Amino acid sequence: MQWAVEERIGWFMIGEPPANAMTMEFFSAFGQWIDRVSADPSLKAVIIVGNGRHFSSGADLQELLENSSENLLLENSLNFARLGRLKIPVIAAIRGVCLGSAFELALWCHFRICAEDAVLGLPEASYNLMPGLGGIGHMTALAGKARGVELILRGATFLPAEAFEMDLVDAVVPKKDLCRLASDFAKALPENMIPGYRKLYIKKYLSKQNVVE
């Protein structure tokens, strides 16, 4: 992972391209990073983005199956939850593949801006597994119980337009504008967000220029 701060906006870049798979090493680095970020009063917002063409393909399945322990997994889960509980805005800027644990990470963010080329979903059930990092709760809360249950049991993947329609992403933008729009949005947002105003912030501060949906 890489971490850079520009004009008080922190950019968290996932992993090793092209797939940016979330390895054990990633999760441990994420834990150390969230410790630092939680204690950094100078930050105004955080943007999570994948290195290169993709957001991330999610957890490394083989590694996960070999090393699954309840404590380790819970630690990863609680670290994701700490991201969701940051007082400053956290924005996922999603392009390319964003599946499984990676989509779960995006769902912990306060806002999701998505490039037109993205592919999203929680396909774990297709591998006889389940989402394990809070994704089930988030997806059913946002898309509704019926649609959430259907998509998760089927292990379905979906496109940005469908995700937008289901409230799973907040805006769909052209790929070339993704990082710029995420950055503009981060700068415009108030530092002390009121969670209940989420929709209002999107309407007010997410530049309508170039937003496809």
Binding region for other proteins (CB under 8 A): 64-66, 68-71, 73-74, 77-78, 81, 125, 127-134, 136-137, 140-141, 144-150, 152-154
Nearer to other proteins, 141 or 187 (CB): 141
Residue 180 Cα to chain centre, angstroms: 17
User: E strands of 122-194, at which residues?
Assistant: 157-158, 171-173
86 or 182: CB nearest other proteins? 86
Minimum Å distance from CB 193 to other proteins?
A: 18
Nearer to other proteins, 42 or 128 (CB): 128
CA separation for the pair 56, 15 (Å, rounded): 8
On the CB side of 184, CA atoms within 13 Å amount to 15
Q: What minimum distance in Å lies between the beta carbon of 105 and other proteins? A: 14
Least distance CB 85 / other proteins (angstroms): 9
Instruction: Classify 158 as helix, strand or coil.
Output: strand
Q: Which CB sits closer to other proteins, 47 or 86?
A: 86
Strand order from edge to edge, sheet including 9-14: 2-6, 9-14, 45-50, 90-94, 111-115, 171-173
CB of 199 to other proteins, least distance (A): 13
Judge contact between 63 and 23, C-beta under 8 A: yes
